[in-house]
Structure 1
């Protein structure tokens, strides 16, 4: 068991903690997150103007948070898989997922007027998350061919 096999669980567990924490906050504290991240005026817009809109937005945020929580739990379980081929496959998939999310933010999210100033910070976060998986892939390839 080499050192790349100990790198994979660490990266998975870190991503798991981020996803579970973010998901939990989205499910239960979205109004506060909107306020901290965007200010009171934009947070009010993002929460909807009618009771029906507010209910739909809160429901959507809760399901998005639940999905993130489930992804975090899945990452926690995957962290303990020992198969190196699976680890490489999983890392490549996560890299593609994070890069796709960054592209989505660049092409679509930045066009939303109330979110336009925030897209660059989120893209940097997506790229950093992708780079953690790239780091693992490069490290495991280096170890494999040395």
Structure 2
């Protein structure tokens, strides 16, 4: 029973990671507009061509990393060793908690930056 649940969870996470990674690599501007609004997205994507290129390359690598993690999770889903599954599951839980805390902190900082940029534009 635990083995089939591990398989399903890994495959589900794999599909989500591969899909999100592909969206980040190829549709980043649309994701920024959806998440932050048009004005903030335009400002977050950089003001000079050099900044825009650096941000685009950085986000493309982040999307590629997420895509590779999805492929790795798909491979791990087929491992049948119960001891490894328990170890891997504990590590994933710790990773998810760490990422959630970091995202909450980082997203607040981005929203604050967007608000400051909007206020500076009004002056």
Matching residue of 2:68? 70
Aligned residues of 1:109 and 1:115 also touching (Cα < 8 A): no
Go from structure 1 to structure 2 and tell me whether the alpha carbon gap of 1:115 and 1:24 turns closer, same or farther (over 3 Å shift).
farther
Unpaired runs of 5+ in structure 2? 116-123
CA–CA distance in 1 between the matches of 2:35 and 2:108? 15
Greater shift, 40-49 or 69-78, is seen at 40-49
**Offset of residue 103 of structure 1:** 1.9
Q: Distance in 2 between matches of 1:115 and 1:5?
A: 45
Q: Deviations over 1:100-121 (max 9, x none)?
A: 11222344442331479xxxxx
TM-score (norm 2): 0.87
- Corresponding residue for residue 34 of structure 2: 36
Query: Structure 1 length as normaliser, TM-score?
Result: 0.74
Structure 2: how far apart are the matches of 1:95 and 1:115? 31
Q: C-alpha distance in 2, partners of 1:53/1:108?
A: 19
2:82 is aligned with 1:98: no
**Which string of whole-angstrom CA distances, capped at 9 and with x for unpartnered residues, describes residues 23-46 of structure 1?**
000111100111111111111011
